[in-house]
Amino acid sequence: MDNYKKIRLIIADDHEIFLDGFRLMISKFTDIDLIGEASNGRELLELATLHLPDVIITDIKMPIMDGIEATKKIALQFPTIGVIGLSMFDEDDLIVDMLEAGANGFLIKNADKLEIIEAIRTVYNNDTYYCKTTSHKLTKMIAKSRFNPYKKIEKIIFTAREKEFLQYSTSEMSYKEIAEKMFCSPRTVESYRDSLFGKLDLKSRVGLAVFAIKNGY
């Protein structure tokens, strides 16, 4: 018998081939237990009610009831369940709608298996997950939306240099380019980034940029 708690997962997608591949991929990770599969939002809601999973990964576009509507209902009825939206690369508006509906993160459908596992574990730990291919345009859309994962963050004191880095983090500049703007080394910029990640309990530049925009930096 396992001496640790597995992450109980449900997947919803109306493409059987995707489900087959997902099932095979998940079977290789011993800390995740796939306990249900749905082909539409109505089935997903029924499975969520029956099994109360830890995490749900759901396609946004599905028949009968789409992922957005299903997520709204799940977030209202079962707020402790973490939801990750699955999207195509060109569905920025739907991703924002999904987050506003109550999702805790999103993945692009062609994400590799290690990113999928990272997303599941991150959302299981009550953190927000942003797909690594998130564009600058989508980052700004998320920041200006009603979605706000930072409500619980208490007022934090930042140094002047950390505030400066926060401002640059909302741009499309690389860390090397930010270092040039700040007249310091890339390693120093990384130290500002890591300090802010720690203070804000964040793990990605997207999360940092969303925080910076929402908080007027």
Structural domains of the chain, ranges and CATH numbers in brackets: 7-137 (3.40.50.2300), 160-214 (1.10.10.10)
**How does the average pLDDT of the chain come out, rounded?**
93
Q: How far is CA 102 from CA 1, 69, 147, in A?
A: 34, 10, 8
pLDDT at 1 over 70: no
Q: What is the band of 151 on the pLDDT scale with cuts at 50, 70, 90?
A: confident
Order across the sheet with 105-108: list the strands.
32-38, 7-12, 55-59, 82-87, 105-108
The pLDDT value given to residue 182 = 96
The pLDDT value given to residue 44 = 97
The pLDDT value given to residue 3 = 54
The pLDDT value given to residue 5 = 86
Encode pLDDT of 28-61 as tens digits. Answer: 999 999 999 999 999 999 999 999 999 999 999 9
Q: Model-level pTM?
A: 0.91
Cα angle: 55, vertex 61, 66; to 5 degrees: 70
Q: How far is CA 69 from CA 19, 44, 53, 148, in A?
A: 21, 11, 18, 19
End-to-end distance of the chain based on CA atoms, in angstroms?
50
The pLDDT value given to residue 52 = 97
Lowest mean pLDDT among 76-85, 86-95, 162-171, 188-197: 86-95
